[in-house]
Structure 1
Amino acid sequence: MNDGPPDERREPPEGREALEEEASGGTLAPSAELEEALREAADAVADPVEARGQPPTRGMRLAEGVKLPSDENRELREELDRLRAEADDARRELGRHEDRFVRLSADFDNFRKRVLREREEAHRYGSENLVKELLGVVDNLDRAVEHARRSEGADFESMLQGIELVQRQLQGALAKHGVTRIDAEGEPFDPTVHEAIAQKEEGTVPGNTVLQVFQPGYRLWDRLLRPARVVVSKPPRGADGGGEGAEG
Structure 2
Amino acid sequence: MSDPNEADGPDGPSIQPSDELEAALAEAVAAVDERKGGKGAATSADPGAPQGAAEGDPEDVAALKDQLLRLHADFENLRRRTLREKEDAFRYGHENLVKDLLPTVDNLERAVDHARQSGGGDVEGLLQGVELVLRELQGVFSRHGVEEIEAEGAAFDPAIHEAMAQAPDDTVPANTVVQVYQRGYQLRDHLIRPARVVVSKPSTEGGAKPEEPASD
TM range (shorter): 0.5 to 0.7
Q: Does 1:82 align with 2:45?
A: yes
Contact 1:131 1:174 in 2 (8 A): yes
One-letter amino acid of the counterpart of residue 215, structure 1: Q
Q: Does 1:195 align with 2:158?
A: no
Q: Does 1:231 align with 2:198?
A: yes
Contact 1:183 1:213 in 2 (8 A): no
Pick one of 106, 122, 142 that aligns with 1:139. Answer: 106
The structure number with the bigger radius of gyration is 1
Report how far residue 100 of structure 1 moved. Answer: 4.1
Indicate the structure with greater helix content: 1
| Shift in alpha-carbon separation, 1:237–1:118, aligned structure 2, 3 A | same
In structure 1, the residue matched to 2:5 is none
**Higher relative contact order at CA 8 Å, sep ≥6: structure 1 or structure 2?**
2
TM-score (norm 1): 0.57
In structure 1, the residue matched to 2:133 is 166
In structure 2, the residue matched to 1:41 is none
Contact 1:218 1:228 in 2 (8 A): yes
In structure 2, the residue matched to 1:148 is 115
Deviation per CA, 1:159-189: give whole Å up to 9, x if none. 1111111111111111222211113111222
The count of residues paired between Structure 1 and Structure 2 equals 164
Superposition map of 1:39-58 within 5 A = none
Q: Which runs of 5+ in 2 are unaligned?
A: 1-40, 210-216
Contact 1:141 1:167 in 2 (8 A): yes
Q: Secondary structure at the match of 1:208?
A: coil
Indicate the structure with greater strand content: 2
Q: Secondary structure at the match of 1:185?
A: coil
In structure 1, the residue matched to 2:180 is 213
Q: Secondary structure at the match of 1:188?
A: coil
Q: Which runs of 5+ in 1 are unaligned?
A: 1-77, 243-248
In structure 2, the residue matched to 1:183 is 150
